[in-house]
Chain A
């Protein structure tokens, strides 16, 4: 017994070290499980309300740029309004709801954001009380920002497009070829488009838009501009590097998008036991 106590007193530091590391690693693995209920993220009420408080004071620094962005968006929407004014009445042969109106948009403010990690997250000030659910799309007036990954009552955590786990189904605007939008890490201004057929013949400066194959984002919404395109001889694909149209470093206000029939489509697809067409 005395020997045992002696041994314990000699290695108690090692034991404590092992116990603490086990706790830390279990916290890490918990934070990496998708939708895992994690207590250590900024979408919990404690840190969320604190970041909200500090954001209330720092938001004034970005007001000038925010005004310009809103003005641009207003101009764009006015242009669309003119177009829809000439649209035929509802009782004609046109479908009752077009693809634009079947999405609802919830505005939110960004209260915490990183771009330099491998798995970047954005915290926004809307949560399940405002109707935010996991897997909703997040965008701003320029482009796609990310996908909601965790929700608390008043806050939500968004997997930004600058997260190596995020993958979004996209399409080349000119040719309509499909691909996958995926960040490789490191450089926040370059995101790759994978698995896009060589026949699409993407050129520098071409626009990449959301495909609409998934129910997360509305179709044909701009996401990136092609920057470097290399053709690989032996494969059927091009190596496409793009610049996201939304500057993740500078976002302040975002919209959370929800497709109204999303539930219906999702449950239908899972009934068929097909592989889900979700962006994940």
Chain B
């Protein structure tokens, strides 16, 4: 069933995009780390959701952030790449028993270690693409990589703080 995902996910998309555009885009830690939470919108979509829907939501979310932050299309391009590689990564990380139907890829459902690897790889792909496109060149690649790592760590920490304080600590199937 995909129908019952639409409403809560739409609300979540709007709230997270507002948070990203009007709060987080104005924050930069130490001068080079820009926290990004909007990739988690795509990360946390139900595992069985068709890839085309994931791709379209990723493009939409990325382009919304671009629209508000002079990005051109860099957020859209990097988030779409991340969304495309989500399915192969989920297949690689599949536990022996397989995924339950309609399962959400959260740390409550899959365990902290699993979620850490999953979100780490996904965010690395997204941030790498984003910062390479943002610099618009491959010169100074060391600096770009540094930005990827620092921003990635900040983004993950931010997600953990939000989810540990704001989400109920039980198995969710929403």
| A contact residues vs B (CB 8 Å cutoff) | 12-14, 16-17, 20-21, 23-28, 30-32, 38, 40-42, 47, 54, 114-119, 121, 123, 157, 185-188
**Complex contact A20–B71 (CB within 8 A):** no
| Residue B62 lies at the interface, judged by CB distance under 8 Å to chain A | yes
**Residues from 50 to 90 in B contacting A, C-beta threshold 8 Å:** 51-52, 55-56, 58-59, 62-63, 66-74, 76-77, 80-81, 84, 87
**Known contacts A24-B59, A24-B73, A28-B74; A185/B133 CB under 8 A:** no
Chain B residues, CB < 8 A from A25: 73, 77
| Residue B163 lies at the interface, judged by CB distance under 8 Å to chain A | no
Partner of A187, one of B31, B134, B140: B31
Partner of A40, one of B51, B59, B66, B133: B66
Chain A residues, CB < 8 A from B7: none
Report the minimum CB–CB distance from B26 to chain A (whole Å): 8
Report the minimum CB–CB distance from B49 to chain A (whole Å): 12
Report the minimum CB–CB distance from A35 to chain B (whole Å): 14
**Complex contact A24–B70 (CB within 8 A):** no
| Residue B143 lies at the interface, judged by CB distance under 8 Å to chain A | yes
The chain B residue with its CB closest to the CB of A15 is B52
Please name the 9 residue pairs, one residue from A and one from B, whose CB atoms are nearest each other, closest first: A31-B72, A27-B73, A24-B77, A24-B73, A116-B28, A13-B51, A24-B76, A17-B84, A28-B72
**Complex contact B72–A32 (CB within 8 A):** yes
**Residues from 77 to 126 in B contacting A, C-beta threshold 8 Å:** 77, 80-81, 84, 87
Chain B residues, CB < 8 A from A28: 72-74, 77, 133
Interface size on B, residues (CB 8 A): 36
Chain B residues, CB < 8 A from A14: 84
**Complex contact A54–B22 (CB within 8 A):** yes
| Residue B32 lies at the interface, judged by CB distance under 8 Å to chain A | yes
**Complex contact B143–A185 (CB within 8 A):** yes
Chain A residues, CB < 8 A from B70: 31, 40-42, 114, 121, 123, 157
Can you identify 7 A-B contacts, CB atoms within 8 angstroms? A12-B52, A13-B55, A17-B84, A28-B77, A47-B67, A115-B28, A186-B31
Knowing that A116-B33, A185-B140 are A-B contacts, what are 18 other residue pairs whose CB atoms are under 8 Å apart, sorted by A's residue number?
A13-B87, A24-B63, A24-B74, A24-B76, A25-B73, A27-B73, A28-B72, A32-B72, A40-B67, A40-B73, A42-B69, A47-B68, A115-B28, A116-B28, A116-B34, A118-B136, A185-B135, A185-B143
Chain B residues, CB < 8 A from A24: 59, 62-63, 73-74, 76-77, 80
Report the minimum CB–CB distance from B79 to chain A (whole Å): 9
**Complex contact A30–B68 (CB within 8 A):** no
Report the minimum CB–CB distance from B24 to chain A (whole Å): 12
Report the minimum CB–CB distance from A141 to chain B (whole Å): 24
**Complex contact A21–B32 (CB within 8 A):** no
- Please measure, in the bound complex, the distance between the C-alpha atom of A14 and the C-alpha atom of B70, giving whole angstroms: 28
The chain A residue with its CB closest to the CB of B33 is A116
* B18-32 contact mask (Cβ, 8 Å, vs A): 1 or 0: 000010010010011
The chain B residue with its CB closest to the CB of A12 is B52
Partner of A13, one of B31, B72, B74, B84: B84
**Complex contact A186–B67 (CB within 8 A):** no
Chain B residues, CB < 8 A from A115: 28, 31
**Known contacts A20-B59, A27-B66, A28-B72; A118/B134 CB under 8 A:** yes
Report the minimum CB–CB distance from A208 to chain B (whole Å): 22
- Please measure, in the bound complex, the distance between the C-alpha atom of A27 and the C-alpha atom of B78, giving whole angstroms: 13
Report the minimum CB–CB distance from A73 to chain B (whole Å): 26
